Amino acid sequence: MKEIRTVRGVNDLLPGNMDKHIKIKEVGSKICKLFCYEEIDTPIFEFSDLFSKPLGETSDIVTKENYVFKDRSNNSLMLRPEGTTSVVRALINGGLTQDLPQRFFYSGPMFRYERPQKGRLRQFNQFGAELIGVDNFYGDVEVINLAYNFLKNINLINNITLYINSLGDNQSRNNYRNVLVSYLKKFEKDLSTESKIRLQSNPLRILDSKNKTDQAILRNSPKYFDYLNNESRSYYENVCNSLTKLGIPFKQDEKLVRGLDYYSHTTFEFKTSLLGAQDTVVAGGRYDGLSKMISNYSLPGVGWAAGIERLALMTINKYNSSPKVTLVSQSNELNSTILKYYKFLIDNDIKTEMIYSGTINKKLKRANKTSSEYAIIIGENELENNLVQLKNLRNGKQLKININDVLDEIKK
């Protein structure tokens, strides 16, 4: 059979996998509501400059990962690479700035032109949460606690470690940027091509480099933490102390930085050892500078996004799609007569599959194949008095009973 082409890095979600996504989103939504977050949805494409302005021309997402296209009116549009910027825009456009704080969660597809591999797709799904309007360290603590509870409730927390770091305030960031640049200048000729460019444009981002030589050079680089001013340091200590009070274990990772200028103070990632190189399942941080870059408003914000595909790869529990009851007639002519039984079972919340064609043996084979618990078999003889043959497919026992008694019997 000839395969029909699909776009690279773009996947179908077939039922087994789809179900994991649904479960992850269901749990996420339940936990978010418990923390008083409300669901929000924004368009999957926006004017390109909404994303490119705050991301800056030098960030990964804008330099090479974006899906940009012109529409018929020659507008430059971008498929959204992330959710936060749209959420902040929606809050502003929706006139909610007078009513802060606002707590939102969202889920949906994001688009990035990346090299596809396990856990890295060009269309992937995120589940995210944003707390907007709290400029206090308790906000950082709240969203981390939310992410922690989310991962705990999808039963993945045992395989996941929380790493946190602080980027401090603007003053601290500038202090550090200067010393990092002076340090790296000494090794400039050995840096990767990408890092050479970043040394001019966005030096903090070099700390993120996956290049081996870059990493070796960075091993002895000045430590970000040493350049935090007192305020930033106490902010960070407050976050750490509160996490400890909440019983949330974490590790400090001084290399955990975001190259984007709108981030400040806390950055955090939840990582797993189960997925190889694509090990970050939740990434988040404080983005107090973001709203100013897209509007006249200055709104503090902190939040995170989880990669649903990566969480699904870690999820082993399989949804049980087996029917409770398989409904079959001895001869296919009876199908129309037994539709009323089909309705009866469904109305009573019994997961039912009706089999429409084939010999009775074939039908029972199918019932076994789906691991159905019971078969209800109906022949000419049973039609009077609403009788049916109820067969327990686990132990083979068969009863002739009234359809109304089936519910009691199968719930026993």
Region binding ligand ATP by CB under 6 A among candidate stretches 31-39, 119-127, 236-244, 387-395: 119-127
With binding defined as CB under 6 A, does residue 164 bind ligand ATP? no
255 binds ligand ATP per the rule CB under 6 A: no
Which residues between 77 and 116 bind ligand ATP (CB under 6 A)? 82, 112, 114
- What six digits make up the tokens of 283? 């990434």
Q: Is 307 in the site for ligand ATP (CB under 6 A)?
A: yes
Select the residue interacting with ligand ATP from 17, 211, 238, 278 (CB under 6 A). 278
Residue 310 interacts with ligand ATP (CB under 6 A): yes or no? yes
Q: Identify the DSSP state of 4.
A: P
Which tokens go with 160? 């996941």
Q: Note whether 309 binds ligand ATP by CB under 6 A.
A: yes
- The least CB distance from residue 399 to ligand ATP, in Å, is 51
Which is nearer to ligand ATP, 278 or 295 (by Cβ)?
Answer: 278
Which of 23, 120, 196, 233 binds ligand ATP (CB under 6 A)? It is 120
CB-based contact 294:246 (threshold 8 Å):
no
Residue 305 is a binding residue for ligand ATP (CB under 6 A): yes
39, 29 contact by CB (below 8 A): yes
Nearer to ligand ATP, 46 or 114 (CB): 114
Q: Does 21 bind ligand ATP (CB under 6 A)?
A: no
Return the number of the residue (48 or 125) whose C-beta is nearest ligand ATP.
125
- Strand partners for 105: 39, 129
DSSP 160-206: EEEEEEE---HHHHHHHHHHHHHHHHTTGGGS-HHHHHHHHH-GGGG
If one asks whether residue 161 binds ligand ATP (CB under 6 A), the answer comes out as: no
182, 176 in Cβ contact below 8 A?
no
Nearer to ligand ATP, 154 or 378 (CB): 154
Number of residues that bind ligand ATP (CB under 6 A): 16
Taking CB under 6 A as the rule, does residue 59 contact ligand ATP? no
CB atoms near residue 114 (< 10 Å): 16
Spatial distance between the Cα atoms of 211 and 122, rounded to a whole number of angstroms: 22
Please report the DSSP string for 22-89 in residue order: HHHHHHHHHHHHHTT-EE----SEEEHHHHHHHH-TTSHHHHTS-EEEE-TT--EEEE-S-SHHHHHH
- Interface residues with ligand ATP (CB under 6 A)? 82, 112, 114, 119-121, 124, 126, 278, 280-281, 283, 305, 307, 309-310
